[in-house]
Amino acid sequence: MKKEKKQSPPGSEHRMENYPDHGEYTYKGHALFAGKTVLVTGGDSGIGKAISIAFAREGANVVLVYLSEEEQEDAKDTLQWIEQAGVKGLAIQADIKQADNCKKIVATTVEIFGQIDVLINNAAFQKEHKAFVAITEEDLKMTYETNVYALFYMTKYSLDHIPKGGSIIHTTSVNVYDPNPDLLMYASSKAAIQNLTASMSKMFLEQGKGIRVNAVAPGPVWTPLIPTTLSDIDTFGQNTPLKRPAQPSEIAPAYIFLASEAASYISGTIISATGGRITL
């Protein structure tokens, strides 16, 4: 593995020395979502990119949301892979910390594709702190607005456009079970997402909406978020029994499964993909 240079947030996969594997050359689809529409936040790179490519190869039209111009090259590349799969893709640049932006994203998706069959709340922010007193109000606000508020907004505005049999999948983290104290705010926000997953699942099913809500809890995954936010990137992932970080391509199949008919009796569940780290 090449020596990795640290980037400034939000970072770009195109500036990474060790380019992640998103399944570009390996993922093979089986038309599981032909004619469906999938909306993915943070879909330009990392896990979101792998998810976008996988759903496209399963026959779904994919709308990916990304934050900034710095990520535009990554988003364009992801869009090309989506379209190469023979489906329609749409990349939307928007700050999903703002409720109005989330409302516009949903409205645009519905206007073009008619409905949202699968919503994947994947976008996230983290920042490392070696001391509790070093956490600023800005850090707290940024973490929770990106990881929790945006999830709430996207779900709220998408809900009426997701048909029965549709699916919502959140991205949580191994940090819910085994929190890294240097990522205190991130870990606590992911714990909130885990509780929201269970609560939303119960609420939506009891209300007869017929929408399943689940989550995936990745362990260490090699994405642009890592060299932009962590100081120990040279040993990243070595704390797992597999002794390495996952590639995004190794995480995406969990989302495919949870959204598929194969998981029709699964809701309120977290699938852990942690390289062997225990999440009991």
Provide φ and ψ at 60, rounded to 5°: -90, 145
- Of 246, 272, 240, 242, the C-alpha closest to 257 is 272
Answer yes or no: are the C-beta atoms of 82 and 111 closer than 8 Å.
no
Answer yes or no: are the C-beta atoms of 152 and 198 closer than 8 Å.
no
Provide φ and ψ at 168, rounded to 5°: -120, 130
- Of 51, 53, 87, the C-alpha closest to 169 is 51
Query: How far is 195 from 47, CA to CA, in rounded Å?
Result: 21
Active-site option among 27, 186, 255, 265? 186
Can 144 be counted among the known catalytic residues? no
Residue with tokens 């119960």: 202
Active site residues: 186
